[in-house]
Structure 1
């Protein structure tokens, strides 16, 4: 393959960097489609109430790395020393790593091999019967309600707190050209919202190119949107997505430093 394979990635914010590095390490060219921004919401009275009573929550469930960053910033202001009561839970390892780095807390995540999904987290024994426990769910505006609904069904006294919003931005001219011409070798998407949005610019040529997604749920959505060459990565971490890119682009001979990639 004379030309380096061109891989389009869609991860928002700073989290695009480790994924870009992981894909470049394969010998591919990584191009970021800058189509989603994440913006912290201004502090509301509802947020202040939660921060002041933070020590009363038995469990704090955080859904994304950006939610973890917003949470850490607020807690730094209100609690110079964190209360010992709340147990932290994270959807996905990147979210857990952000919480651990920023707050120094122990974080519960789904068992290895279960994937970085809400369903995997909900299978933890300690979340089966949160009867009458106060549980805080930290997320963005909108998003999936599976976590909230399931925890409430299981008896938790749930507070759902949105700390940021996601803003979809139209792709620039270069990105539109790549998508309409299918002028790429793989597209990497780990968000349903981004996948549905992108599909609007994808022609038949683009829908036939390899699409790497991070869960079976996204693969099902992708199939319904008309994507036909699906590759399901074993999770949303950079190493997992890069491994699926290597397979899709036939780059398996590439020398990948897995230790480095796991840090993403």
Structure 2
């Protein structure tokens, strides 16, 4: 049995699946979802992007909620997706949703972050044509690095934002009370917004939480955590379950 006792902060459905996998690996966890997914109302701009989907030589989907909502739009407007179009996902779990739908999707074999995706040879191949256009499907304000990098390479990039992440309502001391009651020694966040929600909910208890090991999905979020004063940061190099498991197993357990 592992000595790790982790707080999971993903949306509720994802927390449940992750907790089950961690339990199978002998790792105790407690869930306090700090992100809830709220679909955005469909706009005329969104509809236009979907109706003109076939003009993009690459479609990049950055998260599981984005994948599920994008497939709902495909069902509505494209009963037969554009032939030969290349789709990409930041991680394997998101890619699996698109692959199960029957799309031609690729994702990095190691690392499930923006940097790994941008280094994917097939993405470069898909965009190696005159006047390349890419569509990024994401949540509100998500993963600017992908869009910025592709634009710097001369790619016309459009972003299709399908949802926002919101912080559920909790009593003021909910976070610190759970950490203390469950004797937790590690915190897990899967995005920069998840980290911001953790910091916001912690309030006056944040100085106590910065002493715990903080598992983050990328160098970008690790830097955000450093700026917030976190002292024991572990970069999992991915937000997926496999990346977290590997990071937990490779990190020395805290003294009991």
TM-score normalised by structure 2 residue count? 0.86
Counterparts of residues 226-237 of structure 1 (less than 5 Å): 226-237=229-240
1:168 is matched with 167
Q: Deviations over 1:128-164 (max 9, x none)?
A: 4554122211111112321112212222222211111
2:84 is matched with 85
2:115 is matched with 119
Counterparts of residues 217-256 of structure 1 (less than 5 Å): 217-248=220-251, 250=253
Gapped regions of structure 2 (runs ≥ 5): none
- Return the offset for 1:65: 0.9
1:193 aligns with 2:189: no
- Alpha-carbon distance in 1 for matches of 2:250, 2:3: 15
- Alpha-carbon distance in 1 for matches of 2:81, 2:24: 39
- Return the offset for 1:64: 0.8
- Return the offset for 1:4: 6.8
Q: Deviations over 1:86-120 (max 9, x none)?
A: 2101111111111112x21121212x23x111121
- Return the offset for 1:185: 1.6
Q: For residues 180 and 169 of structure 1, do their structure 2 counterparts lie closer, same or farther at Cα, with a shift above 3 Å needed?
A: farther
SS of residue matched to 1:196: helix
- Return the offset for 1:191: 0.8
Partners of 2:215 and 2:235 within 8 A in 1: yes
- Alpha-carbon distance in 2 for matches of 1:13, 1:106: 29
- Match of residue 208, structure 2, among 205, 209, 213: 205
- Return the offset for 1:76: 0.8
1:41 aligns with 2:37: no
- Alpha-carbon distance in 1 for matches of 2:17, 2:27: 14
1:104 aligns with 2:102: yes
Q: For residues 148 and 5 of structure 1, do their structure 2 counterparts lie closer, same or farther at Cα, with a shift above 3 Å needed?
A: closer
SS of residue matched to 1:24: helix
TM-score normalised by structure 1 residue count? 0.83
Instruction: Calculate the aligned-residue CA RMSD, in Å.
Output: 2.5
- Return the offset for 1:226: 1.3
1:262 is matched with none
Q: Work out the number of aligned pairs and report it.
A: 247
Partners of 1:209 and 1:229 within 8 A in 2: yes
